[in-house]
Structure 1
Amino acid sequence: MQILESFFKLREHGTSVKTEVIAGFTTFLTMAYIILVNPLILSATGMDLNAVFVATCLAAALGTAIMGLVANYPMALAPGMGLNAYFTFSVVKGMGIPWQAALGAVFISGIVFLAVSLFKVREAIVNAIPRSLKFAISAGVGMFLAIIALKDAGVIAAHPATYLTLGNIHNPTTLLAILGFFLIVALEYRKVPGSIIIGILVVTALSIALGLSKFEGIFAPVPSMEPTFMKMDLHAAMSAGLVGVIFVFFFVDLFDTTGTLVGVSHRAGLLDKDGKLPRLKRALLADSVAITAGAIMGTSSTTAYIESAAGTAVGGRTGLTATVVAILFLACLWISPLAKTVPAYATAPALCYVAVLMARGLAEIDWSDLTESAPAVMTALAMPFTFSIADGIAFGFISYAVIKILAGRFADLKPAVVVIAALWIFKLAFFA
């Protein structure tokens, strides 16, 4: 106990070993759904589900352990929701890019993330992006997740005349997915820890009981990671056509991680008197190492999880909380059959709930200024309707720059925004 006290400076942060352990379990329960959802999403690319399951657990454990042991923050990391969907549905299935090349793009984005963190470019990039677009990107990613979830659940279906229409809501699996969403929201409202994973497991259990899916078991030896380990194709990832993909992986993760770190730290009272985050470089190191290591092992980009706030809400203040989460992710390596048992419609409610959380960014937009709100709406709507996070970001930056110029609001435009908008126009014109 004394070693833990000294290493994590528990007394200095007004906490204890017991409190930190409880906080670690709480955070883990709120984000454990990712070990079931991520393999399902990425396996749609042709990647081996068991190998992705192992890569998910290891990437989460590694990033979270570095966050706890090196940065001493109670933040947990795992493959990001939204980024995994972009990897699968936009890059691999949408653009026809092999998953090996997509993993290469993730790896390169991690190297770029590490470079901008070490050379203090991150603050300049983050500060240059308009506030309205930051919130719109978050909301748009949420909508992108929602349309994927609704399709997996069978709530929506393709239609030749109206493009989309109501699915077969008499289908038992669709009804189970809807029930799962209601259950997750109700449990979250009641502040029940682990509400998302509970919802997924309840739908899975009902599905098995009704004979709609097969129970594969719970425990098994750790599967081989060979089908995805070191399979990334860096040569293909560095082709001109994937420059935009690398940019999106980097860009979304940059804001996701920075926003989560600042938001959770603010709630936990970990910011200094100037409102800055001490040891920020170490925290970003955890994320960039996890991204590159995750790509090597076989998973999409890893990022800090806002669910970490659940742990800080019960008193987690140091890296011991994160260390507990990392240990629990490692322990999950022996439950791979459970990941195979869970059907896609059981994880759809979790995606819908995450979409609800991310859509809150729309409330932060300045709706009284049309030159801010119009580009934001374009950003958020373009993502689900073009089925591409990249296209949504492109529409957002281009519309923001053009509208500001035509409105004569030149003072609002920072050079970085104009440069990014111009790069997107060039990319869409010559590499679409």
Structure 2
Amino acid sequence: MIKGRAGNFFENYYELSKYGTDIKTELMAGLTTFLTMSYVLAVIPGFLRSAGIPSEGLYTSVCLIAIIGTLAHAFFSKLPVATAPGLGLSAFFVSTVIGRMGYTWQQGLAAVTISGLVFLCISLTSIREIIIRSLPENIKIAITGGIGLFIAIIGFRNTGIVVSTDHGMFFGNLKNPAVLLSIFGLLLMLTLMSKGLKTALILSILITTLVGIPLGVTNLSDWRGFGLPHGISATFFKQDFLGLIGNKGVLSGLLNILMIILTISLVDLFDNIGTLLAIAEKGGLYNEKGEVRNMKKALVCDSISTTLSSFLGTTTTSTYLESTAGIASGGRTGLTALSTAVLFGMAFFLSGIVCIIPEAATAPVLIVVGALMLGSITRINFNDLTEGAPAFFTITMMPFTTSIAEGIAGGIITYVVLKLATGRYKEIKPVMYILAVLFIIRLYINM
């Protein structure tokens, strides 16, 4: 494997012996993490393309930000985790910010930039602790579950398994080869995951793509083979900050922007904290105080990569839960992240292959990831209605209003009202009053 000075450097820099690992184990763990989450290279560009972002260079941008974010973890947080644009907040960006609220993708990217800087401030100061302690545990869990349900519904629509009409939502046309291929891909993905296969997502995408060739769903004419990555001039530094403010009028615009940034920052914060807690539990990544090792540094890494992602034309980044696959393979340090980042760099030259993968092969990932995220709601206390009802509104209002922001607003407002109405006002933290008032003002102005 790696010997001599390089081997000694990795041993000393990452303290491999201290954490009970070695170079070979770390490199294999990095490969496992990459294979497990490499589906993002096929899913995220197609997702963002639907928001109007120029497709040329999107693959390059996703690769680039995955490299930057994961390298930040490799050398700063030194945790065995990988970062890339997140599915949940990409859904919020496409469906709510661009779709329902009517902002342009350039204005949406401006909001991502600001939210990244806000997240950075939150991560560097005590604001992070204040917000975490103020939000009720059940609402924190509900945010993750609601996003999961939201993503799953988007996946069902994108696959054609479910179609929307003026009369409601119905099962799709089974005579459509793309729908049949999507169902096949979904069932294959679930089967492989049930068998504990670490590469289940990417393997099912590849198999479904091959099956789609005789069905006429996979278009081989799009094949471009191996080659250099496309440039990112169409998306680089395209944020429209002035348009973001003036799009809806100054007062309404500022409130909308505040809600967008607040939503992105809060969801990003809890998504990353939740993922880091899960990863730490999986690999025993705790310090002597029993806290997640280098959590503050990890959150700083994600906030910086989110800010940089907006300059490249992609959305808010997240620490991927798929990192647990690498940890399960023995990864314990940033060397795992380093090897994952190197593999994302090699993936630069595979865009010609990825471009032939049909949506019928990638959209099932949204359903599966959504189902996994929704599983968190089993920890919600539904027996206490002042806790369970706000969580329920948080979860259900996200897909019904096609907005993560509306779900969080519904949960927070309901929580404050119910606690006040039942005389349990002492359970409400001051920050919750502020958030509830801000959400009420925004809802009133948007009527």
TM-score band w.r.t. shorter chain: over 0.9
Q: Contact 2:134–2:432 (CA<8 Å) still a contact in 1?
A: yes
1:222 partnered with 2:229: yes
1:286 is aligned to 301
1:168 partnered with 2:183: no
1:178 partnered with 2:183: yes
* Residues in 1 aligned to 2:131 and 2:306: alpha-carbon distance in whole angstroms: 19
Q: 2:211 aligns with which of 203, 206, 211?
A: 206
Q: 2:115 aligns with which of 99, 109, 116?
A: 109
Shift of 1:203: 1.5
Q: Contact 1:39–1:339 (CA<8 Å) still a contact in 2?
A: no
Question: Which residue identity does 2:229 align to in structure 1?
Answer: V
* Residues in 1 aligned to 2:272 and 2:193: alpha-carbon distance in whole angstroms: 23
| Correspondence 1:40-119 to 2 at 5 A | 40-119=46-125
Shift of 1:423: 0.6
* Residues in 2 aligned to 1:242 and 1:197: alpha-carbon distance in whole angstroms: 36
2:163 is aligned to 157
* Residues in 2 aligned to 1:298 and 1:366: alpha-carbon distance in whole angstroms: 40
Q: Which digits, 9 at most, give the CA deviation of each residue in 1:259-316, with x for residues without a partner?
A: 1112201221111243212322221121011001110011000011111111111110
* Residues in 2 aligned to 1:69 and 1:209: alpha-carbon distance in whole angstroms: 46
1:357 is aligned to 372
* Residues in 2 aligned to 1:395 and 1:425: alpha-carbon distance in whole angstroms: 9
Q: How many residues of Structure 1 are paired with residues of Structure 2 in the alignment?
A: 431
Q: Contact 2:210–2:218 (CA<8 Å) still a contact in 1?
A: no
Q: Which digits, 9 at most, give the CA deviation of each residue in 1:316-351, with x for residues without a partner?
A: 000000011111111111111233212222111111
* Residues in 1 aligned to 2:128 and 2:418: alpha-carbon distance in whole angstroms: 26
Q: 2:418 aligns with which of 395, 403, 417?
A: 403
* Residues in 2 aligned to 1:414 and 1:13: alpha-carbon distance in whole angstroms: 39
Question: Which residue identity does 2:106 align to in structure 1?
Answer: Q
Question: Which residue identity does 1:314 align to in structure 2?
Answer: S
Q: The residue matched to 1:103 in structure 2 has which SS?
A: helix
Question: Which residue identity does 1:68 align to in structure 2?
Answer: A
Q: 1:37 to 1:198 in 2, by over 3 A?
A: same
Question: Which residue identity does 1:357 align to in structure 2?
Answer: L
* Residues in 2 aligned to 1:179 and 1:35: alpha-carbon distance in whole angstroms: 21
Q: The residue matched to 1:424 in structure 2 has which SS?
A: helix
* Residues in 2 aligned to 1:242 and 1:33: alpha-carbon distance in whole angstroms: 31
Q: The residue matched to 1:310 in structure 2 has which SS?
A: helix
| Correspondence 1:6-405 to 2 at 5 A | 6-161=12-167, 163-215=168-220, 216-217=222-223, 218-238=225-245, 239-240=253-254, 241-405=256-420
Moved more, 170-179 or 357-366: 170-179
Q: Contact 2:182–2:360 (CA<8 Å) still a contact in 1?
A: yes
1:2 partnered with 2:8: yes
Percent identity, aligned pairs only, is 39
Q: The residue matched to 2:318 in structure 1 has which SS?
A: strand
Shift of 1:237: 3.2
Q: The residue matched to 1:49 in structure 2 has which SS?
A: coil
Q: Which digits, 9 at most, give the CA deviation of each residue in 1:79-122, with x for residues without a partner?
A: 00111111111111221110000000001000011111112311
Question: What TM-score results when the alignment is normalised by the length of structure 1?
Answer: 0.97
Q: Which digits, 9 at most, give the CA deviation of each residue in 1:195-236, with x for residues without a partner?
A: 111111211111123222312334221101011000111223
Shift of 1:258: 1.1
Shift of 1:160: 2.4
Unaligned runs of at least 5 residues, structure 2: 1-6, 246-252
Q: Contact 2:177–2:215 (CA<8 Å) still a contact in 1?
A: no
Q: Contact 2:145–2:395 (CA<8 Å) still a contact in 1?
A: yes
Taking only aligned residues, the RMSD between alpha carbons, in angstroms, comes to 1.3
Question: What TM-score results when the alignment is normalised by the length of structure 2?
Answer: 0.94
Q: The residue matched to 2:68 in structure 1 has which SS?
A: helix
